[in-house]
Amino acid sequence: MTDFDATRAMFHLPEGVIYLDGNSLGPLPRGAEARVAKAMRDEWGEMLITAWNKAGWMEQPRRVGDRIARLIGAEPGSVVMGDTLSIKVFQALAAALALNPDRRVILSDTGNFPSDLYMAEGLVQMLGDGYELRTVAPEALEGAIDASVAVTLITEVDYATGRKHDMKRLTDAAHAAGAVTVWALAHSAGALPVDLAGCNVDFAAGCTYKFLNSGPGGPAFIYVAPRHAERARPALAGWLGHAAPFDFEPSYRPGAGVERMRVGTPPVLQLVALEAALDVWEDVTVDDLRARSLELSERFIAGVEAACPDLALASPRDGAARGSQVSFRHPEGYAIMQALIARGVIGDFRAPDILRFGITPLYIGTAEIDTAVRILGEIMAGGLWDRPEYRTRAAVT
């Protein structure tokens, strides 16, 4: 059994704060502070540019990718780190389209994260030639997979509601129709069991600053199924994805396998922070994490529904259809969330009316859930959110 008291002790959690926003930005793993400081001093400070060889900076995106692979059911050597999720979605989409050259449609759903859709829009505009992005309601996705679809672009867990798509089922449906699949794992990696190889997924990408706790600006990862890795065209052909970066050839030749998805210089210090953050997972099984997440989520839903009749559950009630977050709707959601944050319970708000709470068993337990429920209940019962200062929108909500 995973020891969640042990994992909690590995995080710095500010005094007096209940953090229910690890689905947006994970907290600081204690180990990361020391590791980054050491890398700055011993590697950057002392080794200077020789650290690219001596400290293994050049291989770091693949080394870390292999550690992520373990958490998402990916084959060793199929994952590489770099850039942001938006960029990796672009690369995966472009590569997937090129594998299905007779078709023109990218199929996604209206619940997808806007940046993924914007990336697809930009790509189809750039390609011209009849390419289009088609979006349907999340429930209509499976029925919309037909012989015109080149690529499905699906985020497994809806960022707003936590609704979870069935990866195996939709991947099978896409393949049956001759489509290539791209999955976004932003709210999946580190949140629930993912089995990319078992589901026969073609491409996937995810970020690490949410449930994997790499810190603000932590790099994304991209997965390319080994069967495509030697054919996939990365679209963004950068020198570190070249077969021989230090030959400085005038023309691009793709690197071996997933290495070709690298673009430019990796964010070494962020990757060091991520390596330390991944140490937390050494003795964690994702199945234990999932069981604990469901237990805490049910407790939170039951508590909030009992204490706050005005809040409407926006997440699926069935745990199997939900990621590792719980969302509620209220027309004054923004002000309510500000009032909660003022009382030390940090969640976030997603327009137009969603209060979002990340359930992260690595450092959240029943005591935090119960206190959060109590405080939310007090705020709702007393109308304590109804103050002008709680209605003023900040740039980041």
Ligand X SMILES: *Cc1c(COP(=O)(O)O)cnc(C)c1O
- 155 counts as binding ligand X under rule CB under 6 A: yes
Kindly tell me which of 116 and 353 has the beta carbon lying closer to ligand X.
116
Q: Cα–Cα distance between 62 and 27 in angstroms, integer?
A: 24
Q: Cα–Cα distance between 275 and 56 in angstroms, integer?
A: 13
The CB-of-269 to ligand X minimum distance in angstroms stands at: 17
From candidates 186, 229, 284, 369, binder to ligand X by CB under 6 A: 186
- 220 counts as binding ligand X under rule CB under 6 A: yes
From candidates 109, 116, 202, 275, binder to ligand X by CB under 6 A: 116
- The answer to whether 88 and 220 are in contact (CB under 8 A) is yes
- 113 counts as binding ligand X under rule CB under 6 A: yes
State the Rg of the chain over Cα. 22
The CB-of-199 to ligand X minimum distance in angstroms stands at: 18
The CB-of-388 to ligand X minimum distance in angstroms stands at: 31
Q: Which amino acid is at 372?
A: A
Count Cβ neighbours within 10 Å for each residue of 144-157 and write b for 16 or more, e otherwise: bbeeebbbbbbbbb
Q: Cα–Cα distance between 228 and 226 in angstroms, integer?
A: 5
From candidates 4, 19, 159, 211, binder to ligand X by CB under 6 A: 159
- The answer to whether 238 and 61 are in contact (CB under 8 A) is no
User: Which range, of 112-120, 308-316, 368-376, 385-393, touches ligand X by CB under 6 A?
Assistant: 112-120
Interface pattern 70-89 for ligand X (x via CB under 6 A) = --------------xxx---
The CB-of-26 to ligand X minimum distance in angstroms stands at: 12
Give residue for tokens 């204690």: 30
The CB-of-206 to ligand X minimum distance in angstroms stands at: 8
- The answer to whether 77 and 226 are in contact (CB under 8 A) is yes
User: Which range, of 128-136, 181-189, 333-341, 369-377, touches ligand X by CB under 6 A?
Assistant: 181-189
- How many residues are recorded in the chain? 397
Cβ neighbour number for residue 84 with a 10 Å cutoff: 16
- 184 counts as binding ligand X under rule CB under 6 A: yes
Kindly tell me which of 85 and 362 has the beta carbon lying closer to ligand X.
85
Kindly tell me which of 167 and 220 has the beta carbon lying closer to ligand X.
220
Kindly tell me which of 219 and 241 has the beta carbon lying closer to ligand X.
219
**Looking at residue 198, what DSSP letter applies?**
H
- 213 counts as binding ligand X under rule CB under 6 A: no
Kindly tell me which of 302 and 321 has the beta carbon lying closer to ligand X.
321
Give the strands of the sheet with 354-358, arranged side by side: 312-313, 325-329, 354-358, 348-350
Size of the site for ligand X (CB under 6 A): 13
Residue partners of 123: CB distance under 8 A and separation at least 6: 90, 93, 94, 97, 106, 131
Contacts of ligand X in 316-355 (CB under 6 A)? none
Kindly tell me which of 254 and 323 has the beta carbon lying closer to ligand X.
323
Q: Which helix (H) or strand (E) holds 149?
A: strand 149-155
- 187 counts as binding ligand X under rule CB under 6 A: yes
Give contact residues for ligand X (rule: CB under 6 A): 84-86, 113, 115-116, 155, 159, 184, 186-187, 207, 220
